């Protein structure tokens, strides 16, 4: 199950015109990376638990089919929260087998086989993949004992009690869904996990020490793009280059274009003469005139930047037009 809800407010302006999981990461929609990870471990039945924009996700049915995955869409009339979303989507799974749940906005190469083996050997009711981070404040923070049993789970604490955080990948025993109330919004992080721990259920932490990124902000989004281009995600991808420049299809470079640092260019872009691109991401069909400098920026789909523009540290919304000599920088 993949949880796809929320408005992606911290990724605006790009999430104004598409759900978060459609954002291109190294030129493919973010959800690809989760589907590829699931396909790698032969998971062939995936349910998307979707809050708004349900119809848009039909585009993914074919992508999944090509990966050998049967995809179902579980649509919520109103946001049910993470717990409500899981409970509601379970009707597409049935059975008494444990199942995986993913937050839709994380990219990782978690070893699902090892995680499942851990879940079974610890006879866990819920297993939570856990990663260590420097700054745990914005995450679900947890405390584990020497057996890796979770003793405390606090969502976004003011003062974190450890560096271990919820990575947003779970394995649930189906019977544990009885503990989630129906018909209202429920957050597994704020409500269900603390309750399960308090009431003595077995909630265990599977420590993941490979690649993990929460693609929640524009900064992290940019880093995730470059990480993947540079081959840091180990899930047997064949869609990306390892290197510093990734170009989509039908990209035109005029004379003396220069790409510095890490640069990702989407399909159908046209880059004018003498233009310099540095540490930036261009979505599809971006047109940039000559003598421009684009640095540390994300440029949305169908943007037209006329010649002699200079843009630093910016996020330019889809379809913007910047007239020649526009400067977006500190003076």
The contact pattern for ligand GDD, residues 229-268, with x = CB under 6 A and - = no contact, is ----------------------------------------
103 binds ligand GDD (CB under 6 A): yes
Using CB atoms within 10 A of its CB, is residue 146 exposed (0-12), middle (13-18) or buried (19+)? exposed
Q: 172 forms bridges with which residues in the sheet? A: 99, 126
Instruction: Kindly indicate which of the ranges 100-108, 255-263, 312-320, 321-329 contains the residues binding ligand GDD, using the contact rule CB under 6 A.
Output: 100-108
Return the active site residues: 156
170 or 226: CB nearest ligand GDD: 170
Cα 201 from Cα 216, distance rounded (Å): 30
Q: Which residues contact 155 (CB under 8 A, 6 or more apart)?
A: 140, 141, 187, 189, 190
Least Å distance between CB 214 and Mg ion?
Answer: 6
130 lies in the site for ligand GDD, by CB under 6 A: no
Site size with ligand GDD, rule: CB under 6 A: 26
Please list every residue from 34 through 53 that binds ligand GDD, using CB under 6 A.
Answer: 49-51
Query: Which residues on adjacent β-strands are paired with residue 315?
Result: 298
Q: Is 127 in the site for ligand GDD (CB under 6 A)?
A: no
Residue choice 27, 105, 257, 281 for contact with ligand GDD (CB under 6 A): 105
In 3D space, the residue among 30, 28, 35, 32 whose CA is nearest the CA of residue 20 turns out to be: 30
Q: Which is nearer to ligand GDD, 223 or 251 (CB)?
A: 223
**Among residues 22, 90, 100, 139, the one that binds ligand GDD under rule CB under 6 A:** 139
Cα end-to-end distance, the chain, whole Å: 48
80 interacts with, out of Mg ion, ligand GDD, none, CB within 5 to 8 A per kind: ligand GDD
Contacts with Mg ion, residue ranges (CB under 5 A): 105, 216
Q: Pick between residue 186 and residue 276 the one whose CB is nearest to ligand GDD.
A: 186
Note whether 82 binds ligand GDD by CB under 6 A: yes
- Residues with Cβ within 8 Å of 91's Cβ and at least 6 positions away in sequence, in order, are 74
Residue 3 touching ligand GDD (CB under 6 A)? yes
Binding partner of residue 295 among Mg ion, ligand GDD, none, CB cut-off 5 to 8 Å per kind: none
Cα–Cα dist 298/311, whole Å = 10
According to the binding rule CB under 6 A, does residue 289 interact with ligand GDD? Answer: no
Nearer to ligand GDD, 217 or 242 (CB): 217
CA dihedral 135, 136, 139, 143 (to 10 degrees): 170
CA–CA dist 204, 34 (Å, integer): 22
- Calpha distance 189→143 (Å, rounded): 14
DSSP H or E stretch at residue 127: strand 126-132
- Cβ proximity of 56 and 22 under 8 Å: yes
140 binds ligand GDD (CB under 6 A): yes
Q: Which does 50 bind (CB under 5 to 8 A by kind): Mg ion, ligand GDD, none?
A: ligand GDD
Cα separation, 48 vs 2, in Å, equals 5
The torsion angles phi and psi of 181, rounded to 5 degrees, stand at: -65, 150
Candidates 64-72, 81-89, 277-285, 289-297: pick the segment binding ligand GDD (CB under 6 A): 81-89
Binding site for ligand GDD (CB under 6 A): 3-6, 49-51, 76, 79-82, 85, 103-106, 139-140, 155, 165-166, 168, 189, 214, 216
């Amino acid at each position: 199950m993949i949880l796809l809800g929320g408005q992606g407010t911290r990724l605006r302006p790009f999430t104004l015109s598409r759900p978060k999981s459609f954002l291109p990461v190294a030129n493919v929609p973010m959800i690809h990376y989760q589907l590829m990870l699931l396909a790698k471990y032969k998971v062939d039945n995936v349910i998307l638990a979707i809050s708004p924009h349900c119809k848009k996700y039909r585009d993914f049915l074919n992508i999944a089919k090509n990966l050998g995955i049967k995809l179902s869409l579980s649509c919520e009339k109103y946001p049910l929260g993470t717990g409500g979303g899981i409970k509601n989507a379970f009707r597409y799974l049935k059975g008494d087998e444990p199942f995986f749940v993913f937050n839709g906005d994380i990219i990782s190469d978690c070893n699902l086989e090892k995680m499942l083996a851990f879940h079974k050997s610890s006879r866990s009711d819920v297993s939570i993949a856990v990663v260590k981070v420097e700054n745990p404040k914005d995450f679900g923070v947890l405390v584990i004992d020497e057996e890796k049993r979770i003793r405390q789970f606090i969502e976004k604490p003011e003062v974190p009690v450890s560096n271990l955080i919820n990575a947003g990948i779970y394995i649930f025993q189906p019977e544990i869904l009885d503990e989630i109330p129906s018909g209202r919004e429920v957050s597994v992080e704020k409500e269900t996990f603390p309750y399960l721990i308090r009431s003595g259920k077995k909630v265990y932490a599977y420590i993941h020490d490979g690649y993990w990124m929460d693609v929640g902000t524009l900064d992290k989004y940019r880093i995730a793009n470059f990480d993947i281009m540079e081959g840091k995600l180990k899930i047997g991808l064949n869609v990306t280059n390892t290197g510093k420049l990734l170009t989509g299809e039908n990209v035109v470079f005029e004379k003396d274009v220069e790409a510095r640092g890490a640069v990702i260019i989407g399909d159908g872009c046209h880059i004018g003469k003498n233009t310099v691109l540095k540490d930036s991401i261009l979505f599809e069909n971006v047109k940039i005139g000559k003598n421009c400098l684009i640095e540390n920026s994300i440029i949305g789909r169908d943007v037209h930047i006329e010649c002699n523009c200079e843009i630093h540290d910016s996020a330019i919304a889809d379809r913007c037009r910047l007239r020649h000599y526009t400067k977006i920088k500190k003076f």
